[in-house]
Structure 1
Amino acid sequence: MSSSSDFVDQVDQQVVQNGNGKPEWIGAFLQRTFFDCCSDHPIRRNEKNRYCINCDLSACQYCMSSATHRHHKILKIYRHVYKDVVSLGSMEKYIDCAHIQPYKCNKRLVVALNPLPHSGPTSNTETSCDICNRRLAEPDLYRYCSISCKVMAFERKSSDSLPPFLSTMSLKKDLETEEPKHKRKGKPQRAPFF
């Protein structure tokens, strides 16, 4: 009999990596529609604003609270400027969100699933998304306006020698290979009081 942690580890290997650093579920996730009413729960606050990575389905909060999703990986979807966004902290657990422009939504940093409408196209390529040419607020820090733009850039990458930047597993390997930083020698001494 296998434990729930064995099941989660097994799903981690299947869901997170498909050999090239791109999670298998990310394409289906970006194509989903959210915030429709749940037909299984005809009650108040039943919009489909959750995504189960393991089952590859969008559902409402009542569906996700059932026992079938107990040990599954769940993402909560939010609305920002009439577009679907996900919490940056939640998404970083599953993909590398580096170089994706975050936005502030209700005091929370979020990343857009698809390009937001208010960041219209710009003629200056230095200040825009590498894929869709939408304006970036901080182009010196970010290269993409949404998760879908980063996925497209990943799919267009010129060679397999480039690092797989969608996988969190590659991040863990990079962190393990970094040299440890040396700590300060000794204890800091306070200046004497006169």
Structure 2
Amino acid sequence: MLKIQPNFLVESSSSTRLPTWLESLLSEKFFNPCMIHEDAKKNEKNIFCVDCCEAICHHCLHLHNSHRLLQIRRYVYHDVIRVGDAEKLMDCSYVQAYTANSAKVVFLNPRPQTRISRNLSNNCIGCERGLQDPYLFCSLSCKIHHIMRSEGMMSEYLHECEILTLPEPGSDDWLMTPESVIEPFVSLTTSSSGLNTNCARVDHLTIVRKKRSSKFEISGAAREAIHPPELEATVNRRKGMPRRSPFN
């Protein structure tokens, strides 16, 4: 039975001091049709307005020209954002990141998993999903939940960001698919005072998930080994006219 991990959300109050935009970002349902532009094509809500704390589609952009906008992307039906965009708003250190289509991304919320990987050497502090060393969290939500539970506020981990714009149309418009080749990426340039600082720093990981092809192809060398050119010439050579043996 599939066990779905809950989204770690913390209600905003004077004691927790969790920003409204951050709570909305983690709880928002992206890629649903926009009700305002329900008759328009490509009306998926894949943009988050930090100032309005809501998801919008690209047809709504004219109403948010001067606002801070965050592009949301998908990998295997789960929401991800670019590390470069996320780091403008918050500290993303120790969150496992991936490289896909030349962009480094992190998951917003923990992904469902059939069973908890407690026997692995390194698990997520929030949901116990198996991670690559030296990561501590599988998503931004798991890190935020841990900080709120241990420290009660996010102010030390948030960054001042007055301008946050979308990429140029067509330059970075992609949806990650299950066939995408991804590889872990370590980014521990910033340290968190409330986290475990004894983790070893990894500068390079060479683990790459390769795509598999369902087609069976025979290389040129193998094809020549099966059917040598000399054999093919002998087989395909036309037989000459028959000749009778001379009488003795």
**TM class, shorter-length:** 0.5 to 0.7
Say whether residues 1:78 and 2:69 are aligned partners: no
Aligned to 2:157: 166
Q: 1:61 aligns with which of 58, 61, 67?
A: 58
Greater alpha carbon shift after TM alignment, 122-131 vs 28-37: 122-131
Equivalences, count: 148
Say whether residues 1:24 and 2:5 are aligned partners: no
Aligned to 1:11: none
Which protein has the bigger helix share? Answer: 1
1:168: Cα distance to partner?
A: 2.1
Q: Distance in 2 between matches of 1:158 and 1:94?
A: 19
Contact 2:16–2:152 (8 Å) recurs in 1: no
SS in 2 for 1:98: coil
- RMSD between aligned alpha carbons? 2.7
TM-score (norm: length of structure 1): 0.67
1:104: Cα distance to partner?
A: 2.5
Q: Distance in 2 between matches of 1:168 and 1:120?
A: 35
Say whether residues 1:139 and 2:136 are aligned partners: no
> Where does structure 1 lack aligned partners over 5 or more consecutive residues?
1-17, 175-194
1:157: Cα distance to partner?
A: 1.1
Deviations 1:118-166 (A, max 9, x none): 6963113641101110011x222x1100011011001111578xx9552
SS in 2 for 1:90: helix
Task: From the CA coordinates, give the structure whose radius of gyration is larger.
Answer: 2
Q: Among the aligned pairs, what percent are the same residue?
A: 34
Seen in structure 2, the aligned counterparts of structure 1 residues 123 and 20 have a Cα distance that, compared at 3 Å, is: closer
**Higher relative contact order by CA 8 Å / sep ≥ 6: 1 or 2?**
2
Say whether residues 1:148 and 2:145 are aligned partners: no
Q: Distance in 2 between matches of 1:69 and 1:19?
A: 31
Q: 2:45 aligns with which of 35, 43, 48?
A: 48
Q: 1:113 aligns with which of 102, 108, 111?
A: 108
Counterpart residue type for residue 99 of structure 2: K
Contact 1:121–1:128 (8 Å) recurs in 2: no
1:45: Cα distance to partner?
A: 1.1
Contact 1:21–1:166 (8 Å) recurs in 2: no
Moved over 6 A (4+): 18-21
Counterpart residue type for residue 73 of structure 1: R
Q: Distance in 1 between matches of 2:87 and 2:106?
A: 10
Counterpart residue type for residue 96 of structure 1: D
Counterpart residue type for residue 48 of structure 2: Y
Q: 2:150 aligns with which of 157, 162, 177?
A: 157
TM-score (norm: length of structure 2): 0.53
> Where does structure 2 lack aligned partners over 5 or more consecutive residues?
1-13, 161-189, 194-248
1:62: Cα distance to partner?
A: 1.2
